[in-house]
């Protein structure tokens, strides 16, 4: 009797095999586990940090709210001031990074000059540069200046970190715009600058907005470089949360962390909407 040879059916485009599905599920589980652990611990009803919690309660959320509305006198800085600093630094980082990235992406896309490839690699350097070394280097630079910088030093550092994300998005969006649109605008009487402002920049809107959101997220969550540059009067939310865990772990930190995750989730959801509607991804 001849045996029938069973051949596996080839996968169609868009389909994944069982092995790929298992690997994807494991990677997704490992990525989500710390967040799920943090969320579960924020609802712990016990005073110690046992996982899984023996009981569940909203006590740490009530304590977090009380900390926000009535800060402890022993705290060197209140959460409200730290939140204000984080939002201000993130907004300024988003604005300045965008103002630098838009003309830079235009020059990298439209202009040909010596060292263009090197310039593009140089702008991506903060992505691979060790954050500890970068924070220490910036600290030495700022301390050597003849004048003192407080919040400005954080904005400058965060712009350096966020700039690659904004430039990548703006450049990718710029590459989808042909030079003929500028030529058409100039043929209708617009100056080169007016053609860029009135024609090119609006067509880059999705890439610019995506880069701005990424800059805000990077700045709002930045810790390593900020740790070298903050002072007792200018403290961001990640640094404030870290200060609550230096001597002993404050369980309210988990409640604050859930709030930060929710803010980041909303921003990432908005970013995905931009990407899905014609934006660019990094």
* pTM of the predicted model as reported, rounded to 2 decimal places: 0.78
- Which residue(s) pair with 231 in the sheet? 234
CA distance 48 to 33: 20
CA distance 218 to 267: 11
Q: What pLDDT score was predicted for residue 130?
A: 83
Report the 3 state secondary structure along 3-49.
CCCCCCCCCCCCCCCHHHHHHHHHHHHHHHHHHHHHHHHHCECCCCC
Architecture per CATH, domain 78-276, reads as: Orthogonal Bundle (1.10)
DSSP state of 70: S
Omega of the bond prior to 52 within 30 degrees of 0, cis?
yes
Q: What is the pLDDT of residues 88-121, one digit of tens each?
A: 999 999 999 999 998 888 888 877 777 777 777 7
**Average confidence score pLDDT of the chain:** 79
Q: Percent of the chain beyond pLDDT 90?
A: 9
CA distance 147 to 153: 11
pLDDT at 159 over 90: yes
Q: What is the pLDDT of residues 34-63, one digit of tens each?
A: 778 778 777 776 766 667 777 777 777 777
> CB neighbours (10 Å) of residue 124?
14
Q: What are the structure tokens assigned to 17, written together? A: 């095999």
Q: What is the pLDDT of residues 164-222, one digit of tens each?
A: 889 888 888 888 877 778 778 878 877 878 888 888 888 888 888 888 888 998 999 88
Angle (CA) 76 78 81, round 5°: 115
CA dihedral (91, 250, 55, 65) positive or negative: negative
Helices (H), the chain: 18-42, 59-69, 79-110, 116-123, 125-128, 131-143, 151-174, 180-187, 192-195, 201-203, 205-221, 224-229, 237-243, 252-276
Where are the domains positioned within the chain? 19-57, 78-276
Q: What pLDDT score was predicted for residue 236?
A: 87
């Amino acid at each position: 009797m001849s045996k029938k040879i069973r051949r596996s059916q080839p996968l169609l485009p868009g389909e994944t095999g069982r092995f790929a599905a298992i690997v994807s599920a494991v990677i997704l589980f490992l990525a989500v586990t710390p967040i799920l652990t943090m969320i579960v611990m924020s609802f712990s009803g016990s005073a110690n940090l046992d996982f899984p919690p023996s009981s569940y309660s909203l006590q740490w959320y009530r304590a977090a709210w009380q900390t926000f509305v009535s800060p402890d006198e022993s705290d060197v800085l209140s959460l409200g001031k730290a939140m204000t600093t984080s939002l201000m630094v993130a907004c300024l980082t988003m604005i300045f990074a965008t103002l630098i990235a838009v003309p830079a992406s235009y020059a990298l896309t439209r202009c040909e000059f010596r060292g263009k490839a090197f310039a593009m690699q140089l702008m991506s350097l903060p992505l691979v540069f060790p954050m500890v070394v970068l924070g220490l280097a910036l600290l030495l630079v700022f301390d050597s200046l003849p004048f003192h910088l407080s919040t400005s030093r954080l904005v400058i550092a965060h712009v350096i970190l966020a700039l690659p994300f904004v430039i990548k998005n703006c450049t990718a969006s710029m590459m989808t715009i042909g030079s003929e649109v500028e030529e058409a605008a100039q043929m209708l009487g617009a100056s080169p600058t007016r053609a860029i402002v009135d024609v090119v920049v609006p067509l880059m809107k999705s890439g610019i907005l995506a880069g701005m959101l990424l800059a805000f997220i990077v700045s709002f969550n930045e810790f390593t470089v900020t740790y070298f540059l903050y002072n007792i009067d200018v403290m961001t939310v990640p640094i404030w949360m870290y200060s609550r865990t230096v001597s002993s772990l404050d369980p309210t930190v988990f409640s604050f962390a859930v709030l930060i995750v929710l803010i980041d989730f909303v921003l990432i959801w908005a970013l995905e909407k931009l990407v899905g509607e014609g934006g660019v991804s990094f």
